[in-house]
Amino acid sequence: MAENDPSTTDPDGRLVVFDAGTRLHLSLGRPELVDEHELILGTVAHPDYRVDDAIPGREHFYRRHVDPRRWLRVVVDFNDEPAWVVTALVQENPPRGWKS
């Protein structure tokens, strides 16, 4: 973790960073989200919904985004310390398991 990497804590109090690996991954697949670290980390800090990932130690954090039909999904890896944002994406379907 670089000293100037943006960070937050999740609702369980765990430190999560938006680091160089996050920037690289987003720049390759979702460049429109590279500069959205405040939105992404805000989703981790105050999610509308959470669910475990298929990969052990990872979790998905969701927040309704733009309008009620679109969600921001942020994947965080807690296998490293500090935990880090793996990726983020906007999806038009509710998260699996979501009950409105």
* pTM of the predicted structure, to 2 decimals: 0.91
The yes-or-no verdict on residue 77 having pLDDT over 70 is yes
Residue appearing with tokens 């999560």:
16
- Tell me, what's the pLDDT at 60? 97
Q: Flag whether pLDDT at 22 surpasses 70.
A: yes
Which pLDDT belongs to residue 64?
87
Given phi > 0 = left and psi -120 to 50 = alpha, else beta, which region is 93?
beta
| Alpha-carbon gap, residue 68 to 20, rounded angstroms | 31
Tokens of 71: 């969600």
Under the banding of pLDDT at 50, 70 and 90, the label for residue 44 is very high
Whole-number Å distance between alpha carbons of 86 and 3? 19
- CA 15: distance to chain centroid? 13
pLDDT at site 69: 76
